[in-house]
């Protein structure tokens, strides 16, 4: 009898679960020392996780550049591009503002900062890096690259997006005159997507390594100390993912949110285990095209933009953290201050790079806007990694929901893919490496 081949989603789930168990077992039972720190955690497990992470990150800059040029050239019509851009921005900003509003509301009801016996000195473990607020005009000015090559070298995503968009628009304006270059970009794009599908083969073992290292280092102890804050952030992240995203998806497209989450799961799990939305971008894009049915034209434009400026999960953490720290210091926020927090956190989300931990640094900007002591961030640093993982998963989910809605409105959505088998890349891979002979689950 032939063995049934597990689908990618199932294999990633197993990787996550085994990684969690392995990490906790190491944390609890393996004593500190050479074997644990250098060989197991800092050696084998680190290697497995980092190879996967580095392999995806390797693809980010070329993929963003090539796919946006291609997408913009493919859309062609400048008016259509402008309309899609406008809608995308409105969606991203609105959902972020909704996310942070829910966070402020729920946190005001739960009162995470009113915990009896919370010993502040015990949890403040790290120095806080203060991030000065950047003037808004500079945020926009900085989007225009003065040297596109340095934007690529430094992975400055917004600058890269602007430059790539302009090239794409020029290509489509030139039409036949730049036929070869257009074709070149479209072939380069195929190559990038093929590379993503190779990297994705590593996903189950990669997430295993990343998760195992996280839990081996952090355990669950810190979570108990700040349990109420932790639980509030997680609760709001779930409310936002299920109610806000599920709701707008149903209202604007009529599609099943359950199916959406199921199809999008490989990207959610990669975002969760890597805690970087920019880093997960190659996977988010491929899953959106292959499993959700969003056309390349749309996804190649909305997703890199989303990974750069749309961070609902981060804004949610910042909302809960603001209330939490205010309560710890006995500060009552006025209505105007609450509005300021919503506004600043929504803007901070544009400036937050999609890499691990930046949301916490940007929190200093939000706290400063309402005069809450920035030192409070030291309280929550210890448990931020796990929250970072969860909010990054929400961040990329928000990008995909918006992309799907826009694709549907623009007639760039393939419903058959959305309703089809959850066949992420496995079909593409079969002929070359012959890993699976049975349909994916
Ligand atoms: N890690 C988050 C992301 O990449 C950003 C943050 O909140 O720190 O989306």
- The pLDDT assigned to 34 comes to 84
Assign 381 a pLDDT band (cuts: 50, 70, 90): confident
- CA-CA distance, 333 to 113, in Å (whole number)? 13
- The pLDDT assigned to 288 comes to 95
Residue 317 pLDDT > 70: yes
Least trusted range by pLDDT, from 29-43, 209-223, 306-320: 209-223
- CA-CA distance, 291 to 285, in Å (whole number)? 10
Contact in structure between 10 and 174 (CB atoms under 8 Å):
no
Q: What is the pLDDT of residues 144-165, one digit of tens each?
A: 999 999 999 988 878 888 899 8
Residue 268 pLDDT > 60: yes
- Both tokens assigned to 78: 């400048």
Residue 352 pLDDT > 90: no
Q: Enumerate residues 6+ apart whose C-beta is below 8 A from 235.
A: 106, 110
Q: Is 359 in the pocket of ligand 1 (CB under 6 A)?
A: yes
- Mutate which of 99, 129, 273, 275 for ligand 1? The one with the most ligand atoms within 8 Å of its CB, which is 275
Q: Enumerate residues 6+ apart whose C-beta is below 8 A from 221.
A: none
Assign 129 a pLDDT band (cuts: 50, 70, 90): low
Assign 385 a pLDDT band (cuts: 50, 70, 90): confident
- The pLDDT assigned to 294 comes to 95
Q: Enumerate residues 6+ apart whose C-beta is below 8 A from 130.
A: 364, 368, 374
Residue 267 pLDDT > 90: yes
Quote the ligand 1 centre to 70 CA distance (angstroms).
Answer: 27
- The pLDDT assigned to 2 comes to 46
Q: What is the pLDDT of residues 98-128, one digit of tens each?
A: 999 999 999 999 988 876 655 554 444 455 5
Strand partners, 142: none
Quote the ligand 1 centre to 356 CA distance (angstroms).
Answer: 5
Q: What is the pLDDT of residues 170-198, one digit of tens each?
A: 998 898 899 999 999 989 988 988 898 89
Least trusted range by pLDDT, from 209-213, 291-295, 377-381: 377-381
Q: What is the pLDDT of residues 191-234, one digit of tens each?
A: 988 898 898 889 899 999 998 998 898 787 767 668 889 999 99
Q: Is 385 in the pocket of ligand 1 (CB under 6 A)?
A: no
Q: What is the pLDDT of residues 66-101, one digit of tens each?
A: 988 988 887 777 888 888 889 999 999 999 999 999
- The pLDDT assigned to 128 comes to 59
Quote the ligand 1 centre to 117 CA distance (angstroms).
Answer: 31
Q: Is 354 in the pocket of ligand 1 (CB under 6 A)?
A: yes
- The pLDDT assigned to 90 comes to 93
Residue 418 pLDDT > 90: yes
Quote the ligand 1 centre to 364 CA distance (angstroms).
Answer: 15
Give the rounded percent of residues in the chain with a pLDDT score beyond 90.
49
Q: Is 338 in the pocket of ligand 1 (CB under 6 A)?
A: no
Q: What is the pLDDT of residues 318-334, one digit of tens each?
A: 999 999 999 888 888 99
Q: Is 408 in the pocket of ligand 1 (CB under 6 A)?
A: no
Q: Is 277 in the pocket of ligand 1 (CB under 6 A)?
A: yes
Give the rounded percent of residues in the chain with a pLDDT score beyond 70.
89
- Mutate which of 280, 317, 354 for ligand 1? The one with the most ligand atoms within 8 Å of its CB, which is 354
Q: Is 197 in the pocket of ligand 1 (CB under 6 A)?
A: no
- Mutate which of 352, 377, 390, 400 for ligand 1? The one with the most ligand atoms within 8 Å of its CB, which is 352
CATH label, 8-422, candidates 1.10.3860.10, 1.10.10.10, 2.60.40.10, 3.40.50.300: 1.10.3860.10
Domain ranges of the chain: 8-422
The structure tokens 């040297």 sit at 147
Give buried/exposed letters for 397-410 (b at 16+ CB in 10 A, else e).
bbbbbbbbbbbbeb
- CA-CA distance, 267 to 420, in Å (whole number)? 17
Assign 427 a pLDDT band (cuts: 50, 70, 90): very low
- The pLDDT assigned to 5 comes to 63
pTM over 0.85: no
How deeply is 235 buried, as exposed, middle or buried, from its count of CB atoms within 10 A (0-12, 13-18, 19+)? Answer: middle
The overall average pLDDT reported for the chain is: 85
- Both tokens assigned to 357: 């931990």
- The pLDDT assigned to 437 comes to 36
Quote the ligand 1 centre to 175 CA distance (angstroms).
Answer: 39
- Mutate which of 210, 359, 360 for ligand 1? The one with the most ligand atoms within 8 Å of its CB, which is 359
């Amino acid at each position: 009898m032939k063995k049934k081949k597990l689908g990618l989603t199932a294999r990633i789930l197993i990787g996550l679960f085994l990684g969690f168990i392995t990490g906790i077992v190491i944390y609890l039972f393996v004593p500190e020392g050479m074997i644990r720190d250098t060989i197991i955690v800092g050696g084998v497990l680190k290697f497995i996780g980092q190879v996967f992470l580095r392999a995806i990150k390797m693809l980010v800059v070329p993929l963003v550049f090539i796919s946006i040029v291609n997408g913009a050239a493919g859309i062609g019509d400048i008016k259509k591009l402008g309309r899609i851009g406008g809608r995308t921005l409105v969606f991203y900003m609105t959902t972020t503002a909704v996310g942070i509003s829910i966070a402020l509301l729920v946190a005001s009801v739960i009162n995470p900062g009113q915990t009896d016996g919370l010993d502040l000195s015990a949890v403040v473990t790290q120095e806080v890096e203060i991030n000065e607020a950047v003037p808004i005009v500079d945020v926009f000015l900085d989007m225009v690259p003065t040297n596109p090559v340095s934007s690529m070298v430094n992975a400055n995503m917004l600058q890269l997006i602007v430059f790539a968009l302009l090239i794409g628009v020029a290509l489509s304006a030139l039409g036949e005159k730049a036929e070869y270059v257009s074709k070149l970009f479209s072939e380069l794009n195929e190559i990038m997507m093929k590379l993503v599908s190779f990297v994705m083969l590593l996903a189950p073992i990669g997430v295993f390594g990343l998760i195992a290292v996280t839990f081996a280092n952090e355990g669950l102890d810190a979570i108990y100390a700040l349990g109420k804050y932790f639980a509030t952030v997680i609760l709001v992240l779930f409310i936002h993912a299920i109610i806000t995203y599920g709701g707008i998806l149903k209202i604007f497209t009529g599609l099943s949110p359950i199916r959406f989450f199921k199809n999008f799961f490989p990207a959610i799990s990669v975002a969760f285990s890597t805690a970087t939305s920019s880093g997960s971008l190659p996977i988010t894009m491929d899953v959106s095209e292959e499993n959700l049915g969003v056309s390349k034209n749309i996804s190649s434009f909305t997703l890199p933009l989303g990974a750069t400026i749309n961070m609902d999960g981060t804004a949610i953490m910042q909302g809960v953290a603001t209330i939490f720290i205010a309560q710890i210091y006995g500060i009552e926020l006025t209505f105007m201050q609450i509005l300021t927090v919503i506004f600043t956190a929504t803007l901070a989300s544009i400036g937050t790079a999609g890499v691990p931990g930046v949301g916490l640094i940007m929190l200093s900007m939000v706290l400063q806007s309402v005069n809450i002591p920035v030192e409070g961030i030291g309280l929550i640093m210890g448990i931020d990694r796990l929250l970072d993982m969860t909010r990054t998963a929400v961040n990329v989910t928000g990008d995909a929901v918006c992309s799907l809605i826009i694709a549907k409105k623009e007639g760039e959505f393939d419903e058959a893919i959305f309703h089809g088998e959850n066949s992420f890349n496995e079909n593409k891979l079969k002929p070359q490496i012959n890993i699976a002979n049975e349909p994916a689950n």
